[in-house]
Structure 1
């Protein structure tokens, strides 16, 4: 655990320093777009924070190559090279879009290319699907297609909520912290000889990258991560979730081994990644359906995302961001607690997780639909026009 903590601190420190450097250089050389009608900020703000986050992540991988505790993740270096190469492609295209607004078709093509590199060259794929009676192995072609589709969906889901200061960085920090705890425990429970694994390492590095970037991105933001940062986070989060599927052991689905909650245990590797990214996925799905029904491209920007609706309801920018944080924490921690309970085979502890989720969801619903201004008896302010994040 100390080595993972070192990876978090190292990535956070490097990302913070690099973010400050990118911010200063962007201001000096005016590397920022002009103010658009849909933007919240009143002064031009650099959008190249994704570069700093990417360099922090790369530095963490480089250091891990010289750390004997992480030698297991370098057993197949092609996986690491594929991950870093795919991430590099996404960051380059994202930076180009942040500066010059690329056509959505180009960006989508780059996303499929990056996902294909991870699935095909990195051999990080969804090979199996857990069933209540065991594990179903997928045909190779279907495995690649499902993996590419999953990565592209998560990338766009994360990118779609990038509309408020500190929103994506904070949500991804919480989501990856919860997923790190789960992946660490899952590998331990699977009886692996080492607790060090690729899924946990990626999650830890992303926690560090988000923590290091958040100080400059918190409202009022000095630096935005842009498409480069948001797409990178989505890519690596999806890759981390896919990497954990390779540690499934069919014996874990035996109720005598796993515990009473066999069905929950079987589907936890799928449920938890979905839970921690539930809000981005809901926003992405509703946006695609909404735009297709209107006869538009599913990637055409609009002002009807979840965070836009919350501002229209009367929430301030910071209130909306904190509510997103709460929803992410409630969804992820509820399933994490239930997973821990299944391993302990303690029914009472299982219901603690259920009760936490029910109470947390109820509280979040009250806060979400009762903006602070209304609770205080103040009239709603005119809704602000937050920054829109196209694909």
Structure 2
């Protein structure tokens, strides 16, 4: 249970986030942080991309009010600031994938070098302790970048990324022992409370709509990923490295499904399209709010399934096998559904106008 002082600090962060939304929304055009609709982005009108900046401001002020974080959280917030700025620049100038990945990797390596925290073990898999040794840092870089981009890819309809963030935080508390690593639980509480004003605004309950932007999806994925790494590698918690996967199952599943499909089609795995699970549900006829409700329920279900399996499994290996089997079922299901939707669209595509074709052919004939 969080102490009253901690609750107050979280409320300070939430109020700061709400105030930042009000201020940043007014200057979004001047800052160039506007999202314009196109063939892939089918929202109505230009929308400010300031949600991530507001969330970071809320976390920073809340953390400053608390003032008792140790070195790991301090360096984490500092590098999160760099990535939030990177995300804002990406929203403004559309940076290359290479530049984004390079700066993300440098931020992660800075935390590893400064704190010594990284994935050094995967736990006991089928009776064997899987220690990564020198592979630990590169695996950590890949895992954190992967989760950051997973939340970026899931930010496709109103409220989805924010809702999945709250589900992941609740799942971490469900799996872990709350008294252990209290400062990590507190950081996640500040992330959740600072995100609530954004979520309400994004869903249209608090003034003109705003979007999270790459700044926000990077920030959420980064803090969640590092929290999972820190808590899964500490002996004081009950959060095993395999349990971590269930806490973020839906973003991980969908990212693997999308990247596998793009690779099989000979496309870049980073090339955006309308092939994510939320696009599939929208194309199936569901409305945006219904899609949000369905996917949030699916994410909660995955977390509960993981908690149930973790409780029953006699080893982490069986837990991992259950996770991989669930992911395989998910990938096969969404891939087949999307393939049927694509086939239906091709069948319904209007055939070329035969009369117009004949007239064009006659136009090429020489006159008599």
Q: TM-score range by the shorter chain?
A: 0.7 to 0.9
Which residue is equivalent to 1:226? 213
- State whether residues 127 and 246 of structure 1, in contact with CA within 8 Å, keep that contact through their aligned partners in structure 2: yes
CA distance in 1, matches of 2:14, 2:300: 21
Q: Secondary structure at the match of 2:123?
A: strand
2:184 is matched with which residue: 171, 194, 199?
199
- State whether residues 232 and 244 of structure 2, in contact with CA within 8 Å, keep that contact through their aligned partners in structure 1: no
Which residue is equivalent to 1:213? 198
Q: Work out whether 1:309 is the aligned partner of 2:302.
A: no
Q: Cα gap change, 1:239/1:30 in structure 2, threshold over 3 Å: closer, same or farther?
A: closer
How is 1:77-226 mapped onto 2 (pairs within 5 angstroms)?
77=71, 79-131=72-124, 133=127, 135-139=129-133, 141-185=134-178, 188=179, 195-219=180-204, 222-226=209-213
CA distance in 2, matches of 1:184, 1:160: 30
Task: Work out the number of aligned pairs and report it.
Answer: 315
Calculate the TM-score normalised by the size of structure 2: 0.77
- State whether residues 158 and 230 of structure 1, in contact with CA within 8 Å, keep that contact through their aligned partners in structure 2: yes
By how many angstroms is 1:138 displaced? Answer: 3.2
Which residue is equivalent to 1:271? 242
By how many angstroms is 1:182 displaced? Answer: 3.1
CA distance in 2, matches of 1:56, 1:13: 7
CA distance in 1, matches of 2:7, 2:301: 23
Which residue is equivalent to 2:13? 11
Q: Cα gap change, 1:16/1:182 in structure 2, threshold over 3 Å: closer, same or farther?
A: farther
- State whether residues 7 and 204 of structure 1, in contact with CA within 8 Å, keep that contact through their aligned partners in structure 2: no
By how many angstroms is 1:5 displaced? Answer: 3.6
- State whether residues 120 and 144 of structure 1, in contact with CA within 8 Å, keep that contact through their aligned partners in structure 2: no
- State whether residues 177 and 207 of structure 1, in contact with CA within 8 Å, keep that contact through their aligned partners in structure 2: no
Which residue is equivalent to 1:321? 292
Which residue is equivalent to 1:298? 269
CA distance in 1, matches of 2:265, 2:122: 35
Which residue is equivalent to 1:247? 234
Which residue is equivalent to 2:36? 34
1:202-223: CA deviations, max 9, x gaps?
3212211222211111158710
CA distance in 2, matches of 1:335, 1:296: 33
By how many angstroms is 1:30 displaced? Answer: 6.3
By how many angstroms is 1:133 displaced? Answer: 4.3
- State whether residues 56 and 219 of structure 2, in contact with CA within 8 Å, keep that contact through their aligned partners in structure 1: yes
Which residue is equivalent to 2:48? 46
1:68-96: CA deviations, max 9, x gaps?
xxx4x41xx2x233212321221111111
Q: Secondary structure at the match of 1:2?
A: coil
CA distance in 1, matches of 2:121, 2:30: 50
By how many angstroms is 1:101 displaced? Answer: 1.2
By how many angstroms is 1:7 displaced? Answer: 4.4
Larger radius of gyration: 2
Tell me, which stretches of 5 or more residues in structure 1 are unaligned?
A: 66-70, 189-194, 253-264, 343-357, 370-381, 383-391
Q: Secondary structure at the match of 2:273?
A: coil
By how many angstroms is 1:327 displaced? Answer: 1.1
CA distance in 1, matches of 2:280, 2:110: 36
Q: Secondary structure at the match of 2:82?
A: helix
CA distance in 1, matches of 2:9, 2:245: 25
By how many angstroms is 1:247 displaced? Answer: 2.2
- State whether residues 33 and 88 of structure 2, in contact with CA within 8 Å, keep that contact through their aligned partners in structure 1: no
- State whether residues 122 and 242 of structure 2, in contact with CA within 8 Å, keep that contact through their aligned partners in structure 1: no
CA distance in 1, matches of 2:191, 2:40: 29
CA distance in 2, matches of 1:11, 1:333: 29
1:98-120: CA deviations, max 9, x gaps?
11211121112122122222222
- State whether residues 127 and 138 of structure 1, in contact with CA within 8 Å, keep that contact through their aligned partners in structure 2: yes
Calculate the TM-score normalised by the size of structure 1: 0.73
